[in-house]
Amino acid sequence: MIFNRLVPPMQSPDEPVHILRAYLLTDGVVFLKSQDGKMSGGMIDRSLIKYALDAQGPFPGRRDVKVTAERVSALSSMTWSGDKHFFEIPTTSYYFPAVYLPQAFGLALGEALDLSIQQSYYLARYAAFLASLAVFLAAIRIFPVSPLAIGLLIIPMTVFQLMGAGMDGFSLSLTILAVSIFMRLAGDDSRDSPKWSYGLIVIIFVLATSRIQIASFVLMPFTLALIHRRWLYLLQALGVTTLVLMWLYTAVASNQDGGLQHAGYSHLQIAQYYLQHPLVMLKIMNNTITNSYNIKSYGAQFIGILGWLDTTFRTGFYNVVGVLFALVAALSLSLKNIKQDWLPRVALIIMFMGACFTIYFALLVQWNKFPTDMINGVQGRYFTIPMVALAYALSGDRGFSTKSAKFSLAFLAVIAVLTFAKMPQLLLDRYFIG
């Protein structure tokens, strides 16, 4: 909670549009709409719109801009207007909004209690953090946690996102819960085990329709059906896959935002073109992945470039944390019981690879000019959630029970110390005293 106060409102990537999308959920809005030729959006309280824009302010890309007493006073004095205005938030038009439930709860409670906009915003922040923590604690009670999953939670980028009101922190915890349930079901064929599968299906739908890059997680119930030969799992697999595809098709085909990137073409048409010309698509992806600058920037962004991707640690910090993280990954590997659980672990690797492909494909379609030679806009933090699948594929059901995994605790402790020692200094310098 103390860390939370070191980050001014609306200073994590895309946080303003996420908080506005969460507000729409308080009114039961699932599909965004267009109005008078405008891009996708909805009816939002005018004061909340002003708060989101003013709080973001000139900070992005401006290291010289600092928090002032005047800014704090102006933001804290804003109250709900009760007057709603149509506002465009097209970057969230593809998301199924259930992932915003914690933030929506905080905003709705603040508005109902007639708190200020800023007090309501912080309620949304704390609700998202507490929901993420609760989901993670539930996950580790269901299945042994992977050391690498802990590593994902304590790198600076994740800690920073957990302090904001965006969707990354809660999505990460939900992903850990989904993989935990999947691994438990894969190794448990008791009569009562299928009851967990209903929760898994719901989580997969919420994740796959809000974090499109992990749509490959629909393979979980298919894998369970293959392992246990149960019709229930197969029916659930077909059901959730159908629902996810229906949502994605409807969201892509119905929104009016395609012309923003491709004049004269919709996103659906661009996706169809690349799928029909796979060699063209693979060449573009290869150009992107093999670019040395991209590889370096992905690594730094994955570990943590804070703020609006404008607040960096020193190069040595990234090198040290990167090596420590790689060591944790290596020490997480366990081949014990591999004969019994090889199938779910291989499935998780396939899901991870599918998620990586989807990251590039989605950015190629949605945020790059057509045609193009390289995919721009991929950020290292996009790989954090897919890496949960890789984490559990490496460790299986061993968690911290192996000698190597226990040894990884030392490296995790160093990562934690570096994160919680260096982040306050960096944030204070960036936003307050530098």
pLDDT of residue 1: 65
- pLDDT class for 92, splitting at 50, 70, 90? confident
pLDDT of residue 34: 78
Q: Note the maximum CA span of the chain.
A: 64
The fraction of the chain above a pLDDT of 70, given in percent, is 97
The 8 Å CB, 24+ separation contacts for 400-404 are: 400/144, 400/145, 400/147, 401/144, 402/334, 402/336, 404/331, 404/332, 404/333, 404/334
Is pLDDT above 90 for 208? Answer: yes
Tell me the mean pLDDT in the region 33-47.
86
Strand boundaries in 40-81, DSSP class E: 41-45
- pLDDT class for 90, splitting at 50, 70, 90? confident
Is pLDDT above 60 for 261? Answer: no
- Residues 223-248 have pLDDT tens digits of 999 999 999 999 999 999 999 999 98
Do you find a cis peptide bond into 8, omega within 30 degrees of 0?
no
Is pLDDT above 50 for 87? Answer: yes
pLDDT of residue 102: 98
The fraction of the chain above a pLDDT of 90, given in percent, is 82
For residue 90, the enclosing domain spans 3-433
- Residues 402-412 have pLDDT tens digits of 999 999 999 99
Tell me the mean pLDDT in the region 198-216.
95
| Of residues 93 and 255, more confidently modeled | 93
The DSSP H or E segment spanning 84 is: strand 84-88
Is pLDDT above 60 for 258? Answer: no
Is pLDDT above 70 for 255? Answer: no
pLDDT of residue 155: 98
- pLDDT class for 420, splitting at 50, 70, 90? very high
pLDDT of residue 189: 76
Return d(Cα 13, Cα 411) in angstroms, integer.
29
- Indicate the number of domains in the chain: 1
pLDDT of residue 210: 93
Is pLDDT above 80 for 215? Answer: yes
- Residues 94-150 have pLDDT tens digits of 889 999 999 999 999 999 999 999 999 999 999 999 999 999 999 999 999 999 999
118 residue type, one letter? Q
Average of per-residue pLDDT values in the chain? 93
- Residues 351-387 have pLDDT tens digits of 999 999 999 998 998 888 888 999 999 999 999 999 9
- Residues 301-352 have pLDDT tens digits of 999 999 999 999 999 999 999 999 999 999 999 998 898 899 999 999 999 9
Return d(Cα 434, Cα 429) in angstroms, integer.
4
pLDDT of residue 433: 87
pLDDT of residue 259: 45
For the chain, how big is the Rg over CA atoms in Å? 22
Return d(Cα 80, Cα 192) in angstroms, integer.
48
Cα–Cα distances in angstroms (integers) from residue 117 to residues 44, 112, 209, in the given order: 13, 11, 29
Which three-class secondary structure state does DSSP give residue 209? Answer: helix
pLDDT of residue 38: 78
Tell me the mean pLDDT in the region 257-274.
72
pLDDT of residue 249: 81
- pLDDT class for 269, splitting at 50, 70, 90? confident
The DSSP H or E segment spanning 128 is: helix 117-142
